Amino acid sequence: MAALYNDHPELFWLETQYSYQYRRNQKIYSVTLEFNQTIADITANVAKFNQSVNEIITLASAYKSDVEKEKFVHDYLADGVTYNESAPIHQSAYSALVNGESVCAGYSRAFQHVMMQMGIPVYYCAGIANGGPHAWNIIKLGNDFYNIDSLWDDSIGEQYNTECYLYFNISDSKFNNEHRRTGLSLNLPACNGTDMSYESVFGEGVMGDMLSSYGLSEEDVLYSLKEYYTYCESTLTKAGIGQNSFTVVLADKRLYDEIYYDSNQKGYMYGYMKAVAKNLGLTNYSVALRFSFNELPDGHIILTQGTKLTSR
């Protein structure tokens, strides 16, 4: 049943809840489906649904490449759908494409159905993000797979009145820092593609413009404490003894808080400073750190770290 719901968003009249009966031998002999309110006039509602889908496809057909069509559908949903946890039948593609109000499931199923109707393979992916249930998509472009979270892009774009593509065609190495697959979605293909990322096809975009003002790029984004430690070791080894500072961009405030807490616990000594001292041939030294940060509108953190390394 879960596979049916996840692979067939056009069955919008089905609720995701169902019940079943089984015998003592554990064999199921009866499944009872539940239907939402659209079933009352299913013929008319299917017509409305298909009309909305066909309108999007007609507009998207003006673009030649699959990734351009993908971007159009991504933008169409961002412009035409409002996030609303109280929206009726918000687990369905119908809620997004016809009613214009939905949650992550509706966004993802709507995106999946439209793209599939254009012959572009898309999966519905379920999991955990920010500590709660979430849904997004996996798209196949060429021979590679990519993650795309149209709702999160829409949410950031609405907040700051701009188009956002932070979660457009992202590889697992970056995407999985905030998203974690669960259930059947664990069986979906790994997303290792990079050629069709937003930056590769369309340029830096909103995030790139923000970072460029700091002399940074998306390649400078750090997603974990381990990446931060590795960067610090390399940078401070090159800088050597004395005072210096460097600027990096962190994926989110959570990582900044982790770094700040770790510095107060002197975790940086084993994290990277002992390695720096060994690289520089220091046996007796002292170190002092100073942090300042600026939170970008999309949640990324610009971290400037001052370090004073003294040989005794």
Tell me the pLDDT tens digit for each residue of 58-113.
Answer: 999 999 999 999 999 999 999 999 999 999 999 999 999 999 999 999 999 999 99
**Mean pLDDT value across the chain:** 90
> Looking at 130-163, which runs of residues are DSSP E strands?
132-141, 144-148
C-alpha span between 251 and 224 (Å, rounded)? 8
Give the domain 218-311 fold: Translation Initiation Factor IF3 (3.30.110)
pLDDT tens column, 195-248: 999 888 987 655 555 666 566 677 778 999 999 999 999 999 999 999 888 888
- In angstroms, the CA 75 to CA 42 distance is 28
**Cβ-contact 25, 40 below 8 angstroms:** no
Q: Where are the domains of the chain?
A: 2-203, 218-311
Which residues are CB-neighbours of 297 under 8 A, at least 6 positions away? 156, 159, 160, 210
CA 70 to chain centre: 16
Is-same-fold flag (2-203; 218-311)?
no
Class of the 2-203 domain?
A: alpha beta
Torsion-angle region of 142 (φ positive above 0: left; ψ -120 to 50: alpha; else: beta)? left
